[in-house]
Amino acid sequence: MAQPPGAVLFDLDGTLVDSAPDLARAANRVLADHGRPPVAYERLRQVVSKGGRAMLAVSFPDFSDAEREPLLPVFLRYYGEALAVDSLLFDGVDELLAALDARGIRWGIVTNKPEGLARGVVEGFGWRQRCAVLVGGDTLPTRKPDPAPLFHACDRLGIEAATALYVGDDLRDVQAARAAGMPCVAALWGYREDGDDPHRWQADHVAARATDVLALLP
Ligand SMILES: O=C(O)COP(=O)(O)O
Ligand SMILES: [Mg+2]
């Protein structure tokens, strides 16, 4: 980048926060309600960035989409009851956010997680004052890979999408950024299923560690 970005926007799950432990616990509670044993943590972890429906598909593979749909609000309620208990920041995230703050570069979050739950996570990590904008999966009628949430975040910050930088760990994050004309970074430290290859997503950059994002800034 020739100029410092107008803002750095982040995906939440799998990019800033390793929320898999709390989300897996919620999925396993839904399974227990149905008298089923827990699903292997590593399997649930792989699909966290694909959302709650993907976690329920892994947990209830024998259910149809229509049968799984009523489980989603239960899963989200369980998660909301304990959403920043075992979740941790990924390595280097603290340092990256502190460096952005120190340089006066605003940062925010554009996630597909429902906004109310995302706010709970932001509160849990003490970011309320620092996070300049938060857009959730239900803030607008559409969500990533639609670019609208990224445009909405930029509108709220009063910047053009092309001047921001988006960092995310899933293909739909890169698709949303590309559709918004926003430079983007594929985060290799996040959640992936076998066969997901971030190097093929056509992101502008691929970063192995959160602190590598700093090297992209002038
Ligand atoms: O809850 C989801 O759908 C995944 O959340 P993310 O967009 O922050 O990865
Ligand atoms: Mg993610």
Which numbered atom of ligand 1 lies nearest the CA of 113? 1
* pLDDT confidence band for 218 (50 / 70 / 90): confident
Active site residue 11: yes
Q: Cα torsion for 79, 82, 85, 87, to the nearest 10°?
A: 20
Of 9, 10, 11, 117, best ligand 1 pocket probe by most atoms within 8 Å of the beta carbon:
11
pLDDT digits over 166-192, tens only?
999 999 999 999 999 999 999 999 999
CA distance 182 to 168: 12
Domain map (residue ranges) of the chain? 8-18+87-216, 20-81
Q: Convert the pLDDT of each residue in 63-76 to its tens digit.
A: 999 999 999 999 99
Provide the pLDDT for residue 2. Answer: 77
The two structure tokens encoding residue 51: 């959302």
Cα–Cα dist 203/197, whole Å: 11
Residue identifier of the C-alpha nearest atom 1 of ligand 1: 113
pTM flag (> 0.95)? yes
- What is the spatial distance between Cα 151 and Cα 9, in angstroms, rounded to a whole number? 11
pLDDT, tens digit, 9 for 90 and up, residues 98-121: 999 999 999 999 999 999 999 999
- Cα–chain-centroid distance for residue 131? 14
Q: Judge if the beta carbon of residue 14 lies within 6 A of ligand 1.
A: yes
| Residue 129 confidence (pLDDT) above 80 | yes
Alpha-carbon distance 168 to 166, whole Å?
7
Identify the helix (H) or strand (E) that includes residue 32.
helix 20-33
> 18: Cβ below 6 Å to ligand 1?
no
**pLDDT-above-90 percentage for the chain:** 98
Measured at the CA of 45, the angle between CA 44 and CA 47, to 5 degrees, comes to: 75
Atom of ligand 1 nearest to the CA of 144: 7
Name the fold adopted by 8-18+87-216: Rossmann fold (3.40.50)
Best probe residue, ligand 1, of 55, 78, 89, 111 (max atoms within 8 Å of C-beta): 111
Average pLDDT in the chain = 97
Residue 104 CA to ligand 2 center (angstroms) comes to 25
Measured between alpha carbons, how far is 113 from 104 in angstroms, rounded to an integer? Answer: 27
pLDDT surpasses 90 at 3: no
Per-residue pLDDT of 7-55, as tens digits, reads 999 999 999 999 999 999 999 999 999 999 999 999 999 999 999 999 9
The owner of tokens 């930029």 is 154
Does residue 148 register a pLDDT over 90?
yes
